[in-house]
Amino acid sequence: MPATTTSPADLLSPRMLAQLERLELVSRKIFRGRMKGERRSKRKGQSVEFADFRNYVHGDDLRFIDWNTFARLDKLFLKLFLEEEDLHFFTLIDASTSMDFGDPTKLFFAKQMAAALGYIGLCRADRVRIESFGTPLRKPGPVLRGRHSLMRMLDHVHQIEPGENVPLLDAVKSFCLRNQGKGVLVLLTDLMDKSGYEAAFRFLTAQQMDVYVIHTLSPVELNPEEQLKGDLRLVDAEDADAAEITVSRPLLEKYRKTLNAFVEGARSFCTKRGMTYILANTDTPVDQVVSSYLRQRGLVR
């Protein structure tokens, strides 16, 4: 898989498109949209598809009384209908400097993941918006809907490049101010922010969104012993801090314990606040992550 894309179409292969269009994005919550979508809501509404009856209560709309049943039973019943649900699907991509690492880069993986999930939404007439932070691309992502918007979505995602190192909290606040309301949000980030992720995640819990955090790390970050050896000079991609180290077994063991503690801490923090945490290795094909891991976690079906 290439580390960078030469054209927007490189993000999703024809084979992957065929797999994705059979899937559907799922929300654990019921959202009231402004337009009719293709999915059926659990909430009873006023669409054309009949769902059930209930007893008439004073003040109910008389237009929905079943007069045929009244003529037979001499009792008033109200007809209920399944209302179609309009899902708002957002993806926020971390495009800070640290994401420009690995082969494929973490940013490429995030872009491909966003495009894959976005296409699923487009196939089901969901509202899809993909945004990024830390990128020179200043315009907010367009709100897209329908299969015909595929190339427009791919063009937008293709233009996302690594840029400034924006604190996660600032990025989340800015995103939420632009996208107030209900929906599903997928945050793709490596969580490499020295100020931490806690404040940003607390801010997200105050929003009326179904939040998925996809913690994106490269194989080198997950298993450094396979590629790092000897004396090294490490430079922080975010702030250029440098450190001289000698790779040894005790150091690698300490790193692994620290990484495991960080991952479990982030997972626990999200779980306690109703968010879903998923650790993603960029070495894993995106279609496998979508069809297996995200299906298990309830984002797609």
Model pLDDT, residue 170: 93
Using the CB atoms, write b or e for 124-152: b if 16+ within 10 Å: bbbbbbbbbbbbebeeebeebbeeebbee
Model pLDDT, residue 75: 80
Grouping H, G, I as helix, E, B as strand and the rest as coil, residue 219 is helix
Averaged pLDDT for residues 266-294? 95
Over the stretch 229-265, which tens digit does the pLDDT of each residue have? 555 555 556 655 666 656 667 778 888 898 999 999 9
Read off φ and ψ for residue 144, nearest 5 degrees: -120, 155
Over the stretch 136-186, which tens digit does the pLDDT of each residue have? 655 678 899 999 999 999 999 999 998 878 899 999 999 998 887 788 999
As a whole number of angstroms, the distance between CA 49 and CA 45 comes to: 9
**pLDDT: which is higher, 36 or 24:** 24
Q: Which helix (H) or strand (E) holds 205?
A: helix 198-205
- Tell me the average pLDDT of the chain: 82
For a pLDDT cut of 90, what percent of the chain falls above it? 46
